[in-house]
Amino acid sequence: MAAKNDYFYALGRRKAATARVRVKGGTGTIVVNGKPAEEYFAGSRNLLTELNKPFAVLEQENKLDISAHVDGGGHAGQVEAIRLGIAKAMVLMNEELKSTLKRADLLSRDPRERERKKFGLKGARKQRQFTKR
């Protein structure tokens, strides 16, 4: 483990969301954009569970402090971006955790993005209704 003021930095992305994550030893507090995660993602237990997945897989709850700055996208995309950043930073902290996190599919970025609107169409694929006669 690093010294008290040292931290490990990683970047996580998902859809339009980008999260810059700092991980350091502590008591398990998660701060997102200057607010506690429970307040930032208020009303959604599923998002908070998803956010804690790297800790649950490694059985390291309440041992690391997380500070994340995230922008773009919605809450679901932001949570997945933060989760990827946490997992990457934990691997930087301890290389032995890599295989466990990889097996839990926490180190791979989801490549799916929003498809752009095409010229002449109403959306990416939606067309005007076809009339035969």
pLDDT per residue as tens digits for the range 84-116: 999 999 999 989 999 999 999 999 999 999 999
CA dihedral 94, 99, 83, 108 (to 10 degrees): 130
CA 64 to chain centre: 16
For Cα atoms 5, 28, 63, give the angle at the middle one, nearest 5 degrees.
75
Sign of the CA dihedral with 70 first, then 71, 73, and 75 last: positive
Helix, strand, coil share of the chain (percent; to 5)? 35, 20, 45
- Per-residue pLDDT band for 23 (boundaries 50, 70, 90) equals very high
What does the pLDDT average to over 33-54? 90
What does the pLDDT average to over 37-42? 90
Determine the Cα–Cα distance for residues 125 and 38; give it in Å rounded to an integer. Answer: 38
Burial 89-124 (b: 16+ CB within 10 A, else e): bbbebeeebeebbeeeebbeeeeeeeeeeeeeeeee
Determine the Cα–Cα distance for residues 14 and 76; give it in Å rounded to an integer. Answer: 9
